Structure 1
Amino acid sequence: MTTHASKQEILLESGTNELEIIEFQLRRQLPDGSEKISYFGINVAKVREIIKVPETTDYPNAHPSVVGIFNLRERLIPLLDIAHWLKIPVASDLSEKRVIVTEFNKQFSSFLVDGVTRIYRISWGNVESPSQFLESRDTDCVVAVIRMEERLIMILDFEKIFADINPAQSMESYDISLDQKVLQSEQMVQRRGDKTVLAVDDSAFIRKLIEKTLITAGYRVISANDGAEAYDMLMEFEQIAHSEGGNIGDHVSLIISDVEMPRMDGMHLVKRLREREIYVKLPVIMFSSIMSEENRRKALLVGADDTVTKPEIGTLVEMVDRYIFGP
């Protein structure tokens, strides 16, 4: 089974707040010998193909959840046992399992699953944020939940999983205080301290990294869990600005937004904001793991000023400086 991103690209371009997900299964083995099926989802835009389990080669000192590596079309790709990472006991027989090959954060990877069901096209408005209980857990890896008639589909934070498996390539390894490309004079840090950046991302893991990086540089940072929360927040700022005779820039100097988010995605957020005159000049940077050249073009078409591909968090401060203070 090979997926094609053409429909997803159309959805992103039109800003209709829709997405396509691939549903996959993990079958928990219960003590009585029965099994319980859990359903998960991944955005089609992250998936390159779905294959049978390949022969793998052990990789020395790899993470315990890494099965090994394999060669696919001249690429060496790591295979992650997602059930092992999630601590879900499943059957060891590989004959009926499938491997989802992904590309995001400019990296190829793959995930071992018990089965792939189908592709759904849904509105982000029907994708819910996880409960506050889940959101507050340090180990949480569920960024969204989709209610189907007979089951729940959980969307996993694959960026967080990937960072745990490959810490050397994770955004967590970036330390802005050691980045000589970023201006860190006392005067510049003070200038940044007068500006507020709104970070919008459904991943608590990513939000914390953005906040840490920008705050270390001197910026004030506020955050939202998804596009809908960000939009509501901005509407409140708009009302305050209107009543006080100010403008939106008095409250938010720039927005950094993910693309994939429950309730309202980043593309739709930008499109709605640009329809209102007060937000026409407010700088918006899209920060996404699926920011290909084609998706960058679409982001710019809906009104984004610039884009950054995860995990290139090291370019964020320079870009924010440029759009807030000028070249």
Structure 2
Amino acid sequence: MNDLKKSEILTESGTNELEIIEFHLHKLLPDGGFKVCHYGINVAKVREVILVPSTSDYPNAQPHMVGVFSLRDILIPLVDLAGWLGIPTKDDLTHKVVIVTDFNKMINGFLIDSVRSIHRVSWEQVESPSQFLEAGEQDCVVAVVRREGHLIMVLDFEKIIADINPELSMDKYDVLQDKSVIIDDTMLAKREAKTILVVDDSAFIRKMIENTLRSAGYNIITAKDGGDALEMLLEYERLAVDEGASVNDFVSAIITDVEMPRMDGMHLVKRLRDTSAYSNMPIVMFSSLMSEDNRSKALQLGANDTITKPEIGRMVGMMDGYVLDD
């Protein structure tokens, strides 16, 4: 599974499908046995799967940091995923492997027990964890897939990385300290007249975007996935017709993630551009997987622009350009 060809496995334009790697952690039980815990990650976030490498200790490292290893001249932190999740597993590394991830311009290694297989599924088959419990900002599960009689928990690796290495976290950005963003009475009044819909399956990411835009003055509404967003936007369309108003009276622009349960961002854009009410509304795609290939697909489907999650400092200026009158 080395050298995964991401160009061949990224979300196809508007097909609402993805591929996930199912991997396992073996939870130790009091009787000495173990229970297999099933987890998942989008293939597009995975660089390769390797045997456990030799690591060097890193001074004053965060908890659950095993150490640092070198792979093709790149220094990569190795994280004990089971430890972070609070799952007791065997200490013996002989039969464990490492998933090397590559997204948000960061490469990380995650220690796991085994990789099962790659599943190609429709986002419609990917359920939001809120169907099982009310997800908060601290929840680390962004989606659930039912497969072969068990549940695969798709983890929020962005939140895990932010928790382990806070200095690299996107929520370190403070728009109030950004001298390139004008925040005065005039600009605040202009932004307060606009409402932006933020669509992301990660409660952690949604709150981060919301805080950034609210601090600049914008009104924010949120949706937890593409299906939730589409239902909300179609209701606004019905209300606009009933009240003789415009959907722009309810929402001025949309910022959406790409990979989400029930309906991915690409499919959401495709559906919205096929409706007259949203054919011209500003839509920006905000993702950790915004490769040139994905950017091209997003623009072809009708997105106005794309932005990667490490570039959150560009977001307020980008929204100003799309929704504020000169």
Q: Note whether the superposition's TM-score is higher than 0.5.
A: yes
Structure 1 residues 135 and 69 mapped into 2: Cα distance closer, same or farther (>3 Å)? farther
**Hey, what's the Cα distance between the residues in 1 that align with 2:58 and 2:148?**
42
Structure 1 residues 307 and 32 mapped into 2: Cα distance closer, same or farther (>3 Å)? same
1:73 deviation in Å? Answer: 1.0
**Hey, what's the Cα distance between the residues in 1 that align with 2:153 and 2:192?**
38
**Hey, what's the Cα distance between the residues in 2 that align with 1:272 and 1:89?**
44
1:7 deviation in Å? Answer: 3.1
The TM-score with structure 2 as length reference comes to 0.97
Equivalent positions of 1:1-327 (< 5 A) are: 1-2=1-2, 3-9=4-10, 12-131=11-130, 134-325=133-324
| Contact residue 25 and residue 116 of structure 1 kept, 8 A | yes
| Contact residue 256 and residue 284 of structure 1 kept, 8 A | yes
Which stretch shows the higher mean deviation, 242-251 or 28-37? 242-251
Structure 1 residues 252 and 137 mapped into 2: Cα distance closer, same or farther (>3 Å)? closer
**Hey, what's the Cα distance between the residues in 2 that align with 1:295 and 1:45?**
11
1:243 deviation in Å? Answer: 1.4
The TM-score with structure 1 as length reference comes to 0.97
Unaligned 5+ segments in structure 1 are: none
**Hey, what's the Cα distance between the residues in 2 that align with 1:136 and 1:275?**
31
**Hey, what's the Cα distance between the residues in 2 that align with 1:232 and 1:245?**
20
**Hey, what's the Cα distance between the residues in 1 that align with 2:299 and 2:71?**
33
Equivalent residues, number: 325
1:302 deviation in Å? Answer: 1.0
Which stretch shows the higher mean deviation, 133-142 or 272-281? 133-142
Unaligned 5+ segments in structure 2 are: none
Deviations 1:123-144 (A, max 9, x none): 0000000136743444310111
Deviations 1:7-47 (A, max 9, x none): 323xx232110000000000001110110000000000000
Identity of aligned residues (%): 59
**Hey, what's the Cα distance between the residues in 1 that align with 2:123 and 2:132?**
22
1:326 deviation in Å? Answer: 5.6
Q: Which runs of 4+ in 1 moved over 6 A?
A: none
**Hey, what's the Cα distance between the residues in 1 that align with 2:123 and 2:137?**
25
Deviations 1:257-279 (A, max 9, x none): 00010000000000010011211
| RMSD (Å), alpha carbons | 1.2
